[in-house]
């Protein structure tokens, strides 16, 4: 099984709210609840947004998605993924520059 990241929010996320929030940021939905960044699946909606990243690009998209939804990205072990000054960090350790990672595309680890 792959490692899952999920978006945490103060209030529950309804499917209709998800659909309205993600479109302006360039995300789209495909049935059943699959969230796409361009043509690439990055997460799914199961009463909350969950992703199993296969690349830094996937992580970057999940960080963006969490911000769009007004939440935080959290891993299975409780670590927090966030954006600070254009750099994606995991509990203070840098993964890389968001823009650079997004330009590289969804190449697998």
The 10s digit of each residue's pLDDT in 43-89 is: 999 888 999 999 999 999 999 999 999 999 999 999 999 999 999 99
Cβ atoms of 88 and 60 within 8 Å: the answer is: yes
Within a domain: residue 92? yes
Residue 109: the pLDDT is 60
Instruction: Give the predicted TM-score (pTM) of the model.
Output: 0.92
Residue 34: the pLDDT is 95
Tell me the residue range of the domain where 14 lies: 5-104
Is the CA virtual torsion 69, 72, 75, 77 positive or negative? negative
* Percent share of the chain, pLDDT over 70: 97
- Give me the mean pLDDT over the 4-11 stretch: 94
Cβ atoms of 76 and 10 within 8 Å: the answer is: no
Residue 46: the pLDDT is 85
Cα gap 79→38, rounded to integer Å = 27
Within a domain: residue 109? no
Flag whether pLDDT at 1 surpasses 60: no
* Percent share of the chain, pLDDT over 90: 75
pLDDT band at 107 (very low <50, low <70, confident <90, very high): confident
Within a domain: residue 30? yes
Task: Tell me the backbone φ, ψ of residue 53, rounded to 5 degrees.
Answer: -65, 145
Within a domain: residue 98? yes
Number of separate domains in the chain? 1
């Amino acid at each position: 099984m792959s490692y899952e990241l999920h978006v945490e929010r103060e209030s529950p996320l309804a499917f209709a709210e998800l659909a309205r929030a993600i479109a302006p940021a360039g995300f789209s939905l495909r049935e059943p609840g699959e969230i796409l960044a361009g043509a690439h699946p990055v997460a799914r909606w199961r009463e909350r947004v969950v992703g199993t990243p296969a690349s830094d690009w996937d992580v970057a998209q999940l960080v963006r998605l969490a911000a769009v939804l007004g939440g935080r990205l959290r891993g299975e072990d409780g670590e927090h993924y966030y954006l600070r000054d254009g750099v994606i960090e995991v509990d203070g350790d840098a993964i890389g520059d968001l823009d650079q990672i997004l330009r590289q595309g969804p190449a697998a680890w």
